[in-house]
C-alpha cells in the first residue's frame, strides 16, 4: 500500500475552463469541458479513496476528482482500510440488470437535455433508464454550479449535477460516469497515443491527468487505441496555466473534442461492460 500522500501546499488553485480557451487556431465553436464548480477555486487534499491513496479537491464541502467526478464522503479515509477499488471492472459498480433508475429534480432547468441524453444512450447501448419508485439505488438529476457526477453504481442515492450551461452532450458525458466510464485520457495505454504536458497544467492538478492505474483505480481499456472522438475525452487546452496545450497527440499536434454524443468506441465499451 502506498504511503499517505502529503497535503498539497497550494491553496485556491485555478478552476475549470472551456476546451478552446486561448486557442484561436481551433474551430470557433466552443466545447465545454465538464467541471463541477466553474470559476471557483478549491483546496487540494490527500487521503485514501476506497483504500487507495488518492488526491482530490474540496469545494463547497464536496470532494471533487478530475474536476467533474464527485467522491462520496464514506469513500474517503485518512488511513487505508483495505484493498478496495471502484470503477468499470468491479461488478458491484455496475447497474444491476443494465437498468439505471432515476429521478429528475423538479427544480432542474431544461430537463429535456436529460431525456435527450438518456434517449441517445438507450438507442445505442443496452442501458435502460427507468423512473425510480422505491428502489434504493438511483441517480438524481439536479441543478448545480456545473456538470458533475459519481462514477459507477453506488447502491444508494447518487447525483448527476447539471448547471444551466451544461448541454445535452455534457449530460451524456456525466451519465457516462454514472454508468462507470472514466475519462478517456486516463487509459492505461494512453502514452502510446497522446502526450501529457505536465509543465502546462495548473499547479496542484497534474494528478487529474494520470492514468487510472497510476491513480490506483481499477478499469479496462476497450479497443486497441485511445479514442480522441470519445465523449469522455479532455480537450487539448483543458486546465492550462499558461495558454499552452496540456494534451497533444504524440507528434505534438492539436486535436478537437466533441460533445455531440457517444462515439462508436464509447458505444462498444459500454456494451462490453453491460453485455
Q: What is the Cβ-side half-sphere exposure of residue 92, based on CA atoms within 13 angstroms?
A: 6
Q: Do 269 and 258 touch, CB atoms closer than 8 A?
A: no
Q: Residues 6 or more apart from 244 whose CB is under 8 A from it?
A: 197, 200, 237
What residues does 139 pair with on adjacent strands? Answer: 102, 158
Its pTM stands at: 0.77
Spatial distance between the Cα atoms of 271 and 156, rounded to a whole number of angstroms: 23
Residues forming the active site: 174
pLDDT tens-digit profile, the chain (275 residues) = 222 222 222 223 334 544 433 333 333 345 777 776 676 667 667 666 555 555 667 766 677 766 666 676 656 665 544 433 223 457 888 999 999 999 999 999 999 999 999 999 999 999 999 999 999 999 999 999 899 998 899 999 999 999 999 999 999 999 999 999 999 999 999 999 999 999 999 887 888 898 888 776 767 788 889 999 999 999 999 989 999 999 999 999 999 999 999 999 999 999 999 99
Cβ proximity of 183 and 67 under 8 Å: no
Amino acid at each position: 500500500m502506498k504511503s499517505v500522500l502529503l497535503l498539497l501546499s497550494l491553496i485556491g488553485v485555478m478552476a475549470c475552463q472551456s476546451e478552446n480557451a486561448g486557442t484561436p487556431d481551433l474551430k470557433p465553436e466552443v466545447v465545454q469541458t465538464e467541471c463541477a464548480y466553474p470559476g471557483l477555486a478549491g483546496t487540494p487534499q490527500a487521503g485514501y479513496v476506497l483504500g487507495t491513496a488518492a488526491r482530490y479537491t474540496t469545494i463547497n464541502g464536496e470532494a471533487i476528482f478530475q474536476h467533474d467526478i464527485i467522491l462520496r464522503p464514506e469513500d474517503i479515509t485518512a488511513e487505508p482500510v483495505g484493498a478496495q477499488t471502484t470503477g468499470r471492472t468491479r461488478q458491484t459498480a455496475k447497474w444491476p440488470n443494465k437498468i439505471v433508475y432515476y429521478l429528475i429534480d423538479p427544480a432542474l432547468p431544461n430537463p429535456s437535455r436529460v431525456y435527450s441524453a438518456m434517449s441517445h444512450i438507450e438507442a445505442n447501448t443496452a442501458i435502460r433508464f427507468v423512473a425510480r419508485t422505491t428502489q434504493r439505488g438511483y441517480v438524481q438529476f439536479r441543478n448545480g454550479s456545473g456538470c458533475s457526477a459519481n462514477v459507477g453504481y453506488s447502491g444508494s442515492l447518487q447525483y448527476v449535477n447539471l448547471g444551466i450551461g451544461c448541454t445535452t452532450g455534457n449530460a451524456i458525458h456525466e451519465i457516462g460516469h454514472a454508468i462507470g466510464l472514466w475519462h478517456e485520457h486516463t487509459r492505461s495505454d494512453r502514452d502510446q497515443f497522446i502526450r501529457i504536458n505536465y509543465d502546462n497544467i495548473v499547479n496542484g492538478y497534474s494528478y487529474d491527468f494520470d492514468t487510472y492505474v497510476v491513480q490506483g483505480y481499477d478499469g479496462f481499456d476497450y479497443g486497441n487505441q485511445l479514442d480522441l472522438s470519445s465523449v469522455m475525452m479532455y480537450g487539448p487546452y483543458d486546465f492550462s496555466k499558461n495558454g499552452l496545450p496540456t494534451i497533444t497527440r504524440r507528434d505534438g499536434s492539436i486535436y478537437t473534442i466533441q460533445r455531440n454524443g457517444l462515439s462508436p468506441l464509447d458505444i462498444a465499451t459500454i456494451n462490453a461492460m453491460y453485455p
